[in-house]
Amino acid sequence: MRRAGLVAGVLLLAGCEGPTKPAAEQGGAGAALEKTAIVAGIITDPSKLDPVGAYASDTDRVCIVPQRSGFRVGASVDYGEQQGCVARGTASGSETLHLEFGDGCSFDARVDGERIVFPAIVPPACDRRCTGRATLTAVSAGRLSNAVTEAQTMRAPDGQPLCG
């Protein structure tokens, strides 16, 4: 009797492990729903995501322009009164965009076709691109345009091209 209980317990625990693959890879209802949403235009197909463009929110600006390998990227935060950040560098990827601003300031940002969102925690080296209490953490900006020319003309608070 104890052996039967032990076998049943092991089988129950094995069933609790859950799926090991994302829903889209399992081919189940989640994958079908995702495909339907992509076809309907509700969500962007991650395989066709192009992060190039100009992004902005109230005080945050991000530009992404193509270059030979990957992208040039610029980000600024301007709170006025010597409270701001300006970072220029390179990026690679699409849905997850790996940003390299140099000197140890590198991290992954999320792009969904409509917004770019920086993580809530960025390396301390990124603080060198900021003055006062401003930070590059959690920058969230909506896409203004996917035009390369608009991204190229975006300016930082210092008046210089952000993606220059």
Whether CATH 3.40.50 fits 50-153:
no
The pLDDT value recorded for residue 20 is 44
Per residue in 6-35, pLDDT tens?
444 444 444 444 444 444 555 677 777 777
The pLDDT value recorded for residue 56 is 96
Q: For residue 80, name the pLDDT band (cuts at 50, 70, 90).
A: confident
In angstroms and rounded to an integer, the radius of gyration of the C-alpha atoms of the chain is 22
The pLDDT value recorded for residue 17 is 45
Tell me what the mean pLDDT of segment 124-151 comes to. Answer: 96
Q: Give the residues across from 60 on adjacent strands.
A: 77
- In the chain, CATH 2.40.128 covers 50-153
Tell me what the mean pLDDT of segment 64-87 comes to. Answer: 94
Residue 158, pLDDT > 60, answer yes
Rounded to whole angstroms, the Cα distance separating 142 from 114 reads 6
pTM, whole model, 2 decimals?
0.73
List all residues 6 or more positions away from 61 whose beta carbon is below 8 Å from its beta carbon: 54, 55, 74, 75, 76, 77, 78, 141, 154, 156, 162
Residue 2, pLDDT > 70, answer no
Percent of the chain scored above 90 by pLDDT?
60
What is the pLDDT of the chain when averaged over all its residues? 83
Rounded to whole angstroms, the Cα distance separating 19 from 146 reads 37
Q: For residue 48, name the pLDDT band (cuts at 50, 70, 90).
A: low
The pLDDT value recorded for residue 45 is 60
Give me the residue label for tokens 């190229």. 152
Q: What is the DSSP letter of 47?
A: G
